[in-house]
Amino acid sequence: MANDFLSEMETKLLAMRKELLEKLSNDDDDFRGMVNAMGIKDSIDVAADDIAFKKMEALNQHDANRLKAVEAALARLKNDRYGVCLRCGKKIPEERLRAIPYAVLCIDCKNGEEGPNKRRF
Ligand SMILES: [Zn+2]
């Protein structure tokens, strides 16, 4: 794989990491605010807040997982393992990596792994 492609992907991944870190720290402020607000509300509001709380937790989890994937991709770039499918060892097409720079599986393996209920990145 061409080096300029790898540096292009590295730039993308670093930008994504920065964005996710900023997003997660912003969400944390909202999260803390919500926890504080919950403390002063009466019990009638708690059920609705509980749903919002769980939703935010799930959103954070999604971003946290994406951040992990981005970090892993950066590590693979350093180890010359970037762009190689983790399952079958084939090269992942550049086109796919441009769309999802942190992809770890080729399209065939990804399709094989995901059931109909799983979320796509
Ligand atoms: Zn594969």
Within-domain flag for 33: yes
Q: How far is ligand 1, taken at its centre, from the CA of residue 115, in Å?
A: 16
> In angstroms, rounded to a whole number, what is the distance separating the alpha carbons of residues 81 and 78?
8
What is the mean pLDDT of the segment spanning 30-56?
64
Within-domain flag for 48: yes
Q: How far is ligand 1, taken at its centre, from the CA of residue 57, in Å?
A: 31
Residue 28 — very low, low, confident or very high, per pLDDT cuts 50/70/90? low
Name the helix (H) or strand (E) containing 76: helix 43-78
Within-domain flag for 55: yes
What is the number of H-type helices and E-type strands within the chain?
4, 0
Q: How far is ligand 1, taken at its centre, from the CA of residue 98, in Å?
A: 17
The pLDDT of residue 120 is above 60: no
56 φ, ψ (degrees, to nearest 5): -65, -40
| Domain containing residue 19 | 3-82
DSSP 26-51: HHHHHHHHHHHHHHHS-HHHHHHHHH
Within-domain flag for 64: yes
Residue 17 — very low, low, confident or very high, per pLDDT cuts 50/70/90? very high
Within-domain flag for 95: no
Domain count, the chain: 1
What is the mean pLDDT of the segment spanning 45-63?
74
Q: How far is ligand 1, taken at its centre, from the CA of residue 49, in Å?
A: 42
Within-domain flag for 104: no
* More confident call, 54 vs 31: 54
